[in-house]
Amino acid sequence: MKLTNEQIISAANGIVRTEQNELGLELHRFTREQEGFFYKTHPLFCRESFFNGYFGRNCRTCAGVTLDFICDAKVFEIKFSQTEYAKSLKERIYLFDLYVDNKLVESYKTESEIVYKASGEKQRFTLHFPYYAFPIITSVKLEDATVFLPQKRQVDILFLGDSITHGANSVNPSNTYVMRVARNMDIGILNQGNSGFVYDEGSIEKVCEPKIVVTAYGINDFHRKNIELIDRDTTEFLQKLKETYKNTKIVSILPLWTVWNGSKEDYKLAERNCIKAVYDKYSDYTVDGYYLVPHDAKYFADEVHPNDEGFAFYGENLTKALAEILAKSQE
């Protein structure tokens, strides 16, 4: 069975739109309007050439995107083409994770194809796409399959944030904190994390009808804004977010402990307190990210980003907080 583009789309989660062109089928997690906003030169980053087009290209990466379906194929084969942007990035970001019946069976470092020999019995296949690459699907084949049941999920939680929400620096795309929360709670998610970005109301657009919106910016704001700008931008962001998602609970996460805090406990304390005051005023719930990951450098890939072990703590602790919030909202 060779899947049509319509069948592939029916099994795609973590996206807001698709595009079909001569390269293949593209899966997108941002709208065209959002992508256009992120491609514009941002005043906070205009003096650094590295950021020319950086945030716009980030929109085209596949953080949180999965193909999820039940079938009885003997072989699952998927082929890709790549954009020039993806080809220019580090090779580790080409990692795909394949789950069969909710268990990780294989990770694939590839730019071109995945071939998995299955049992031929009815099983659930969930393929996690790389969070920092943009693979374009050219074909999906399910050898000798007689059953194809897409597992489409509605978006229960929309995640907004910077590189940590985007997935950096998890080795496996299925081990980011966002995907851990999704598995733990058995829910649908949309990850609109954009590595390196800050609180800016211009990035907000109504893209789904989630039960919760999680916002987790802040660490880049610490380093690029003074207190007055942090207060203004965070306030404007949350005001617009509440206006845009009127019937949705807003959960705001304070920045994590960093390795820098290990040598200076009050590192960026004034900035943190500023953001907390805004959260407490405009968010429905505030989660103190400072305590989500243990205060030990061994749980971090660098000074700021958790590694897979750190993301395990982040995912578990955030799951508990969000489960309580969902339970309260349903009372």
Q: Which two tokens stand for residue 158?
A: 């929309």
d(CA 68, CA 140): 12
Judged by DSSP in three states, 29 sits in coil
Single-letter residue type at 326:
L
The stretch 96-123 carries a mean pLDDT of 96
d(CA 175, CA 172): 5
Question: Which domains does the chain carry?
Answer: 5-29+64-150 (2.60.120.260), 157-329 (3.40.50.1110)
d(CA 283, CA 237): 11
Whether the predicted pLDDT of 34 surpasses 60: yes
Of the listed ranges 64-68, 100-104, 260-264, 299-303, the one predicted with least confidence: 260-264
The share of the chain scoring above pLDDT 70, in percent, equals 96
| Enclosing H/E stretch for 212 | strand 212-216
pLDDT of residue 99: 98
d(CA 114, CA 11): 17
Whether the predicted pLDDT of 187 surpasses 90: yes
Q: Which two tokens stand for residue 14?
A: 């973590």
Contact predicate 112/135, CB 8 Å: no
Whether the predicted pLDDT of 313 surpasses 90: yes
How high is the mean pLDDT of the chain?
A: 94
Residue given tokens 């659930």 in the structure block:
124
pLDDT of residue 117: 98
Q: Which two tokens stand for residue 20?
A: 């079909």
Residue 213's contacts (CB-CB under 8 Å, 6 or more residues apart) are: 157, 158, 160, 241, 245, 248, 249, 250, 251
pLDDT of residue 85: 55
Residue given tokens 């950096």 in the structure block:
168
d(CA 39, CA 151): 32
The candidate with the shortest Cα–Cα distance to 289, out of 309, 308, 311, 262, is 311
CA distances from 192 to 158, 221, 246, 261 (A): 7, 17, 19, 27
Helix runs in the chain, H state only: 5-10, 32-39, 54-59, 84-87, 163-166, 177-185, 219-224, 227-244, 259-263, 269-282, 308-329
Of the listed ranges 59-73, 81-95, 144-158, the one predicted with least confidence: 81-95
Whether the predicted pLDDT of 60 surpasses 50: yes
303 vs 87, which has greater pLDDT? 303
pLDDT of residue 88: 47
- Bond into 169 cis (ω within 30): yes
Q: How many CB atoms lie within 10 A of CB 233?
A: 20
CA distances from 32 to 75, 82, 210 (A): 35, 20, 20
d(CA 120, CA 48): 53
Residue 189 pairs in a beta bridge with 157
Whether the predicted pLDDT of 331 surpasses 80: no
